[in-house]
Amino acid sequence: MTNPPMDEALPEGVAEEMFGRMAVTRAIERLMAKHTREERFSGWWHPGEGQEAAGIGATAALQRDDYLWYQGRGCSWAIGKGMAPGPILGDLLGKTTGATGGKGGGVPHWADYSIGVMGEGATLGSVFPLAGGSALASKIRKDGRVSLADFGDGTSARGTFHETLVHAAAWKLPLIYFCENNGLLVGTRLEAVNPTVNIADYAAGYHIPGITVDGQDAAAVYAATRYAVDRARAGKGPTLIEAKVVRRLGHYAGDPQHYRRPDEFDDYRDPLDVLAARLSGNTAARLIEEADAEVSAAYAEALAAPSPDASILDRNLYHG
Amino acid sequence: MADGNDTQLMGYNAAMGLALLEEMRRDETIFVLGQGVATGGWFGAEKGLVAEFGTDRVIDSGISEAFEAGLAAGAAIAGMKPVVNMGFGDFALIAGDEIYHKLAKWRYMHGLDVPMTAVIIFPIGTMGGAGPEHSSCTEVLGMHFPGLKVVVPSSATDAKGLMKAALREPNPVLFHSVQSLGWSRGEVPLDPEFIIPLGQAAIRRAGRQMTIITYGSMVPRAMEAAERLAAEGIDAEIIDLRTLVPLDWDTVLASVRKTHRAMVVHEAARTAGPGAEIAAQIQERAFFDLEGPILRVAARDVPLPQHSDLEAMCIPSVDDIAAAARKLIET
Amino acid sequence: MSVLVDLNIPHMGSVENAKLIEWRVAEGGAFSAGDILYEVETDKVATEVEADAAGILVRQLASEGDEHKVGDRVGLWAPAGTDAAAIASALEAFGARDAAPPVAPAPAPASVAPAQPIAAAVDGEERAQLSPLVRKLAREHGVDLSSLAGSGPGGRIVGEDVLAAASKPAAAPAAEGVRAVPHSLRRRTIAKRMTEAAAIPTLTADMQIDLTALLARRTADNADGRPASIMAYIAVAACSLLAGKHGGLNAHYTDEALLVSEGVNLGVAVDTPDGLVVPVIRDAQTLDAAALSERIAKAAASTRTGDLAPSALEGGTFTLSNPGSLGPVIRAEALLVAPQVALLGLPGIVQAPVAVERDGAWQIEARPVVRPSLTFDHRALDGGTVIAFLNDLKSALESL
């Protein structure tokens, strides 16, 4: 399947902005890898190293009030949409400074409606009807907002993928399906459970465009997402984007990864390196240094912050 | 122009529809979605809505219960007030993740103190031969997954009053409409501000010797049983819970402390049904006011047979209720 | 028609409850007219029931100690001379020893397992039959469940049984050195009446009466063969005033009206071993001191021997109480006999120092003195009215 024609150009400043966020994301990844090795961590951290370009590139093409429904690993989507490291780390460490007040752990539930970070459901595939719901809300209100559902290749097998897309396509909802295809379901190869390794193939069945992009290239992801966003805002309906990505680490921190092939990472391209090629001088190095400092400070703050007491247990059950 | 006292004789489903009409008029963030709603609804509750509000706000969906329920959560999170008619309470199980995880738990998981209005209409219970997968009473599920509110109206008036309350509630409400009462009629208030607050039970019949706690389809049957019992000299008090979450424990316990005998009657199956929780809490909180055990009258623990005669054997009849009451007095 | 006649407890004035104390005629025994058949105790008095005619007590249906109401059937008798065979067959037709009054037998309940009667004895095995409510109420009211019979399904003890037992005086297990004296019916009735009386808003006015003149008069009457007690003279003076200008004290109080009586039905409080009894002397204002003295003595005697007819306790309009006859009590305030509005109490008569004017100067002399107390219902009477009565009584008695 071929991609529709897209504008590949990256507007001024976007590359630098994306790299800065990607550097912060990577700093958190490195930090969490170390932290989960050396400290007691509640739950399981799902590392996103290697897949950062997908989240950073896609969110760069979204507006502040567009709805982001993310799922899966790492924190590139939340950082990309504008969340700060403080609430992210606070939740991972179970501290009151976290976005949820300290309830979070391995499966993040960071949310900030003011910047369109709508949260994550832990049951893979719950993202589809939720994003369909916010897309329908936008259509009824005619508010011009777009909803993006982020998911992994394995999750595309869920019935909710299909139930939502048939309606989104029929109703031309302002919805983007964004698949991060790393070819693995924990340790199972995608081809063992799917008739195709190209998730974008499904688009034809729904009579919507399917775009395949190099998920290690943030600029390519940005372009594809911009196309889908423009289409959605113009009332033309949903788009399915498949970003081919590489999951550099295990499914969870501590995963021995016996399922890996010996040559698996021979052709690996670090998304930081790919994007850094678009930056001049020592911009990349400077941004990495700033990111490391920012994350170190946020980490220290999170470590020092208090843990919630039992009163948090009854909070947010009902409103009013 | 309706004044505060005007009422109109109408059916239970029509009363629900009137509530939707009134609320959709005053609040443009409310929309209705479900299979067949734009054609008036399978059971008539949505009749006339599409004519007034159009298909922008009255939306037919395909056969995708998980999508319908998950959409309700997503739209509610995005600031709308969706009303999703799931068609049958049985389909709660198809949409289990969406209702009992997403709707119920989203704000808790994410630490959000924000309003979230969504009404999921579940038509429940037998309707005369719909079979085991279209006749279930699933309201107990809403009691077990914290974060939802659960109502079961027993009359046309309550259907209207509770629907309006649900649409003004800043929390998701599972609205279990009762299939066997769908065309039962009552004098329904036309006042557009007539609302029955959630969490308030109604004492349908005052009595001294025993408390019958019930809701939904069993309210009219319990009332009929009470008339027969009165002729035998047994004076029963009947409480119609109306809301299961939050449950009006004050009314229930005050009654049991007065009568010293209690039984729960519902159409849902017996084992681990709502009656089990109610009986457990009564004996925990009013043990020393009890003259005897708390009885439950409920459906047989079997998948309901499809033939309507067999089905009727499985759910509590007026005779069953009266017999249990006599047993309660005689124990 | 049966030859057997119902033996019912006769109505006795206003009493309702009657406890059968003792049969005086055995079952099958013969009796004559006027013989005492049984003794019964009511709210007001213990009394004996006499036979109206001769006969045979064919069957005793009530047991000694049973509580009944007036009018209840307690036995069957046959008139003297009734054929023995007729009696026997009538008895057979009557049925079993403890048969209920003849009614249509209740239809047997269809296929119901016989209820397990719950033994009154409460031990560990029976614990399961006591409901939580019963156990709570027993704890709260200090009721011993082993002493209760149950009125619930299958004879089970239910909450009402515990509450009923709690409202009765309990036969409490005696502590070391303590003896429990169960209340008689009379004692319980007195307690109830006294509690009611204590709720009435009363006051008491005292007056000092010099009895010198009265005692002189008494000595003279005694010498004339008309002996009378001091109390009688006081009573005559009081009744004369009550039947005359002080009729307002000779009345019953009701919410609607004060029921003033023409005649003075004088209640005379008599202390008996079993409590206070107040026999009534009707139209006491018609009696002189000697006659009244005799009537009072007779009433007191009858009360003590238990010969008093129940009607003799009814209809009092004013009561005279004489605790001074029992000992030198200083004051004789009393609780009213509701609905009467006034009661005159006589304490002990004493020789007291009294200031007396002689030749224009005051001197202290020893005089016989009584200081009666008039307790009155302040809803009906005011201080002025009462003091006026006492003034007139004093004047009357000091000028005898």
Q: Please report, for the domain that includes residue C348, its CATH number.
A: 3.30.559.10
Instruction: Give which of B79, B104, B244, B243 is closest to B172, Cα–Cα.
Output: B104
Q: Is the CB of A315 less than 8 angstroms away from the CB of B111?
A: yes
CA pair distance C374, C335, nearest whole angstrom? 10
Whether C115 maps to a domain, the answer reads no
For residue A114, which residues of chain B lie inside 8 Å, CB to CB?
A: none
The residue annotated as part of the active site, out of B101, B110, B134, B260, is B134
State residue A229 phi and psi, 5-degree precision.
Answer: -65, -45
Whether B2 maps to a domain, the answer reads no
State residue C152 phi and psi, 5-degree precision.
Answer: -85, -175
Task: Answer yes or no: do B117 and B68 share one domain.
Answer: yes
Whether C108 maps to a domain, the answer reads no
Whether B197 maps to a domain, the answer reads no
Question: Diameter of chain B by CA atoms?
Answer: 60
Task: Answer yes or no: do C256 and C151 share one domain.
Answer: no
For residue A138, which residues of chain B lie inside 8 Å, CB to CB?
A: 78
Tell me the three state secondary structure of residue C298: helix
Confidence of residue C21 (pLDDT cuts 50, 70, 90): confident
Q: Is the CB of B288 less than 8 angstroms away from the CB of C153?
A: no
Question: CA angle A135-A139-A140, nearest 5°?
Answer: 120
State residue B89 phi and psi, 5-degree precision.
Answer: -60, -30
For C325-343, the pLDDT digits (tens) are 888 899 999 889 889 999 9
* Nearest residue of A to residue B148, measured between CA atoms: A318
Q: Is C155 on the interface with B (CB under 8 A)?
A: no
Of B189, B220, B242, the one marking the end of a domain is B189
Q: Is the CB of A109 less than 8 angstroms away from the CB of B111?
A: yes
Task: Answer yes or no: do B81 and B131 share one domain.
Answer: yes
Task: Answer yes or no: do C213 and C82 share one domain.
Answer: no
Evaluate whether A97 touches A87 at the Cβ level (below 8 Å): yes
More confidently predicted of B292 and C3 = B292
A 10 A CB-CB count for C194 gives 13
Give the torsion through C-alpha atoms of B35, B38, B42, B43, to 10 deg. Answer: 130
For A125-145, the pLDDT digits (tens) are 999 999 999 999 999 999 999
Whether C285 maps to a domain, the answer reads yes
Task: Answer yes or no: do B137 and B243 share one domain.
Answer: no
CA count, 13 A, side-chain hemisphere, B105 = 18
**What's at B296, amino acid-wise?**
R
User: Backbone dihedral region of C291: left (phi > 0), alpha (psi from -120 to 50 degrees) or beta?
Assistant: alpha
Tell me the three state secondary structure of residue C371: coil
C142 burial type by CB count under 10 A (0-12 exposed, 13-18 middle, 19+ buried): exposed
Of B189, B224, B249, the one marking the end of a domain is B189
Task: Answer yes or no: do B244 and B98 share one domain.
Answer: no
Task: Answer yes or no: do C154 and C216 share one domain.
Answer: no
| C-alpha distance from B288 to closest chain C C-alpha (Å) | 5
Interface residue of C131, C139, C156, C163 to substitute, partner B, most B CBs within 10 Å: C131
Whether B279 maps to a domain, the answer reads yes
Average pLDDT over residues A227-243: 98
Evaluate whether A54 touches A245 at the Cβ level (below 8 Å): yes
For residue B291, which residues of chain C lie inside 8 Å, CB to CB?
A: 131, 133-134, 152, 158-159
Of B160, B189, B218, the one marking the end of a domain is B189
Confidence of residue A44 (pLDDT cuts 50, 70, 90): confident
**What's at C115, amino acid-wise?**
A
Task: List all residues 6 or more positions away from C175 whose beta carbon is below 8 Å from its beta carbon.
Answer: none
Q: Is the CB of C135 less than 8 angstroms away from the CB of B288?
A: yes
Task: Answer yes or no: do C76 and C204 share one domain.
Answer: no
| C-alpha distance from B251 to closest chain C C-alpha (Å) | 19
Task: Answer yes or no: do C133 and C57 share one domain.
Answer: no
**Is the ipTM above a cut-off of 0.90?**
yes
pLDDT at position C107: 44
Whether B119 maps to a domain, the answer reads yes
Chain B residues with CB within 8 Å of chain C CB = 260, 287-292, 329-331
Structural domain of C357: 188-398
Look at chain C and report how many structural domains it folds into: 3
CATH classification at residue B221: 3.40.50.920
Task: Answer yes or no: do C162 and C194 share one domain.
Answer: no
* Nearest residue of A to residue B75, measured between CA atoms: A133
More confidently predicted of A317 and C195 = A317
Whether C297 maps to a domain, the answer reads yes
Q: Is A128 on the interface with B (CB under 8 A)?
A: yes
Whether B128 maps to a domain, the answer reads yes
Whether C99 maps to a domain, the answer reads no
User: Backbone dihedral region of C154: left (phi > 0), alpha (psi from -120 to 50 degrees) or beta?
Assistant: left
**Cis before residue C372, ω within 30 degrees of 0?**
no
Which of B291, B329, B330 is the closest to C131 by Cβ? B291
Which of C133, C152, C153 is the closest to B290 by Cβ? C133
For residue B329, which residues of chain C lie inside 8 Å, CB to CB?
A: 153
CA pair distance B301, B298, nearest whole angstrom? 9
Whether C183 maps to a domain, the answer reads no
Whether C271 maps to a domain, the answer reads yes
The subunits that touch chain A, with at least 3 C-beta pairs less than 8 Å apart, are: B
Q: Is C153 on the interface with B (CB under 8 A)?
A: yes
| C-alpha distance from B208 to closest chain C C-alpha (Å) | 14
Task: Answer yes or no: do C301 and C236 share one domain.
Answer: yes
The single residue listed with the structure tokens 């000092």 is C208
Percent of chain A with pLDDT over 90: 88
Q: Is A278 on the interface with B (CB under 8 A)?
A: no
DSSP character string of C216-257:
HHHHHHHHTT----HHHHHHHHHHHHHHTTTGGGSEEE-SS-
Task: Answer yes or no: do C310 and C233 share one domain.
Answer: yes
Evaluate whether A121 touches B63 at the Cβ level (below 8 Å): no
**Chains C, A in contact, 3 or more Cβ pairs below 8 Å:** no
Look at chain B and report how many structural domains it folds into: 2
SS3 content of chain C, % helix, strand, coil (to 5): 30, 25, 45
Whether B65 maps to a domain, the answer reads yes
Task: List all residues 6 or more positions away from C303 whose beta carbon is below 8 Å from its beta carbon.
Answer: C270, C272, C277, C279
Per-residue pLDDT of chain B (331 residues; tens, 9 = 90+): 555 679 999 999 999 999 999 999 999 999 999 999 998 888 888 889 999 999 999 999 999 999 999 999 999 999 999 999 999 999 999 999 999 999 999 999 999 999 999 999 999 999 999 999 999 999 999 999 999 999 999 999 999 999 999 999 999 999 999 999 998 999 999 999 999 999 999 999 999 999 999 999 999 999 999 999 999 999 999 999 999 999 999 999 999 999 999 999 999 999 999 999 999 999 999 999 999 999 999 999 999 999 999 999 999 999 999 999 999 998 8
Q: How many residues does chain C have?
A: 400
For A4-28, the pLDDT digits (tens) are 999 889 999 999 999 999 999 999 9
**What's at A173, amino acid-wise?**
L
CATH classification at residue B173: 3.40.50.970
For residue C158, which residues of chain B lie inside 8 Å, CB to CB?
A: 291
Among A residues 70-99, those touching chain B with beta carbons less than 8 Å apart: 98-99
Evaluate whether A92 touches A45 at the Cβ level (below 8 Å): yes
Task: Answer yes or no: do B214 and B322 share one domain.
Answer: yes
Task: Answer yes or no: do C200 and C333 share one domain.
Answer: yes
Whether C181 maps to a domain, the answer reads no
In the 3-class helix/strand/coil scheme, how is chain A assigned residue by residue? CCCCCCCCCCCCCHHHHHHHHHHHHHHHHHHHHHHHHHCCCCCCCCCCCCCHHHHHHHHHCCCCCCEEECCCCCCHHHHHHCCCHHHHHHHHCCCCCCCCCCCCCCCCCCCEHHHCECCCCCCCCCHHHHHHHHHHHHHHHCCCCCEEEEEECHHHHCHHHHHHHHHHHHHCCCEEEEEEECCEECCEEHHHCCCCCCHHHHHHHHCCCEEEEECCCHHHHHHHHHHHHHHHHCCCCCEEEEEECCCCCCCCCCCCCCCCCCCCCCCCCCHHHHHHCCCCCCHHHHHHHHHHHHHHHHHHHHHHCCCCCHHHHHCCCCCC
* Nearest residue of B to residue A141, measured between CA atoms: B29
**Averaged pLDDT score across all residues of chain C:** 84
Task: Answer yes or no: do B124 and B211 share one domain.
Answer: no
Q: Is the CB of B291 less than 8 angstroms away from the CB of C133?
A: yes
Tell me if the pTM is above 0.95.
no
Task: List all residues 6 or more positions away from B4 whose beta carbon is below 8 Å from its beta carbon.
Answer: B191
Average pLDDT over residues C48-72: 87
For C108-166, the pLDDT digits (tens) are 434 333 333 333 334 444 445 789 999 999 989 888 888 788 888 888 889 999 999 88
In the 3-class helix/strand/coil scheme, how is chain B assigned residue by residue? CCCCCCEEEEEHHHHHHHHHHHHHHHCCCEEEEECCHHHCCCCCCCCCHHHHHHHHHEEECCCCHHHHHHHHHHHHHCCCEEEEECCCHHHHCCCHHHHHHHHHHHHHHHCCCCCCCCEEEEEECCCCCCCCCCCCCCHHHHHHCECEEEECCCCHHHHHHHHHHHHCCCCCEEEEEEHHHCCCEEEEECCCCCCCCCCCCEEEECCCCEEEEECCCHHHHHHHHHHHHHHCCCCEEEEECCEEECCCHHHHHHHHHHHCCEEEEEEEECCCCHHHHHHHHHHHHHHHHCCCCCEEEEECCCCCCCCHHHHHHHCCCHHHHHHHHHHHHHC
Q: Is the CB of A164 less than 8 angstroms away from the CB of B113?
A: no
| C-alpha distance from B254 to closest chain C C-alpha (Å) | 15
Task: Answer yes or no: do B102 and B20 share one domain.
Answer: yes
Evaluate whether C336 touches C200 at the Cβ level (below 8 Å): yes
DSSP character string of C164-192:
HHHHSPP-PPPPTT----PPPHHHHHHHH
What tokens does C108 get?
């047997």
Which of B73, B111, B116 is the closest to A319 by Cβ? B116
Task: Answer yes or no: do B11 and B80 share one domain.
Answer: yes
Q: Is the CB of C153 less than 8 angstroms away from the CB of B329?
A: yes
Tell me the three state secondary structure of residue C156: coil
C166 burial type by CB count under 10 A (0-12 exposed, 13-18 middle, 19+ buried): middle
A 10 A CB-CB count for A97 gives 18
Q: Is the CB of B290 less than 8 angstroms away from the CB of C132?
A: yes
Expressed in angstroms, the distance from the first to the final Cα of chain A is 51
A312 burial type by CB count under 10 A (0-12 exposed, 13-18 middle, 19+ buried): middle
How many CB pairs lie under 8 A apart between chains B and C? 23
Interface residue of B208, B209, B260 to substitute, partner C, most C CBs within 10 Å: B260
Task: Answer yes or no: do C351 and C241 share one domain.
Answer: yes
| C-alpha distance from B69 to closest chain A C-alpha (Å) | 8
Task: Answer yes or no: do B179 and B231 share one domain.
Answer: no
pLDDT at position C13: 62
User: In this structure, are strands C280-281 and C5-8 parallel, antiparallel, or unpaired?
Assistant: unpaired
| C-alpha distance from B140 to closest chain C C-alpha (Å) | 29
The answer to whether B134 is a known catalytic residue is: yes
Task: Answer yes or no: do C160 and C264 share one domain.
Answer: no
Interface residue of A117, A140, A166 to substitute, partner B, most B CBs within 10 Å: A140
Evaluate whether A225 touches A62 at the Cβ level (below 8 Å): yes
Task: Answer yes or no: do B175 and B76 share one domain.
Answer: yes
For residue B114, which residues of chain A lie inside 8 Å, CB to CB?
A: 113, 319
Percent of chain C with pLDDT over 90: 46
* Nearest residue of B to residue A320, measured between CA atoms: B170
CATH classification at residue C156: 4.10.320.10
For residue A121, which residues of chain B lie inside 8 Å, CB to CB?
A: 97, 101-102, 106
> What residue ranges define each of the domains in chain A, with the CATH number in brackets?
14-305 (3.40.50.970)
pLDDT at position B163: 98
pLDDT at position A2: 84
Confidence of residue C365 (pLDDT cuts 50, 70, 90): very high
Task: Answer yes or no: do B311 and B233 share one domain.
Answer: yes
Q: Which residues pair with C365 in a beta bridge?
A: C354
Structural domain of B306: 202-330
CA pair distance A121, A125, nearest whole angstrom? 8
| C-alpha distance from B94 to closest chain A C-alpha (Å) | 11
For residue B69, which residues of chain A lie inside 8 Å, CB to CB?
A: 129
Task: Answer yes or no: do C156 and C204 share one domain.
Answer: no
Task: Answer yes or no: do B167 and B35 share one domain.
Answer: yes
For residue B292, which residues of chain C lie inside 8 Å, CB to CB?
A: 131
User: In this structure, are strands C373-377 and C342-345 parallel, antiparallel, or unpaired?
Assistant: antiparallel
What tokens does B193 get?
């501000």
Average pLDDT over residues C372-384: 95
CA pair distance C215, B306, nearest whole angstrom? 108
For residue A137, which residues of chain B lie inside 8 Å, CB to CB?
A: 74-75, 78-80
| C-alpha distance from B108 to closest chain A C-alpha (Å) | 5
